[in-house]
Amino acid sequence: LQLHTQAGTYIKEYVHGDLGRTQPSLATVGQIHSADLLELDVMDVDLVWPPVKENQEEEPLSGRVTPSDVANINNKRVLS
């Protein structure tokens, strides 16, 4: 199962439901008594860094492109 969530999302609580305090949870959606998380891998972090001020226009990449430049471009992708 792959999830795309926002920062601050409690993934473990979403899986097991935190003793019924988190609704919906995978346990309730799957109509099972309980679920537990055995492994959690973070595949990607969507983060634009450094942050762009609202009134500041983005500059096109020129010259030497660094890995952080590529990461910033990738983080602005539209998720389907």
Report pLDDT digits (tens) over 8-18: 788 888 888 88
34 touches 27 (CB < 8 A)? yes
pLDDT digits (tens, 9 = 90+) for 20-65: 888 888 888 877 777 888 898 888 877 777 776 666 555 555 667 6
CA geometry: angle 70, 71, 77, nearest 5 deg: 95
Per-residue tokens: 31: 């109509």
> Alpha-carbon Rg of the chain, whole angstroms?
18
Residue tagged 């959606």 (tokens): 29
* Interior angle at CA 16, CA 11 and CA 20, nearest 5: 115
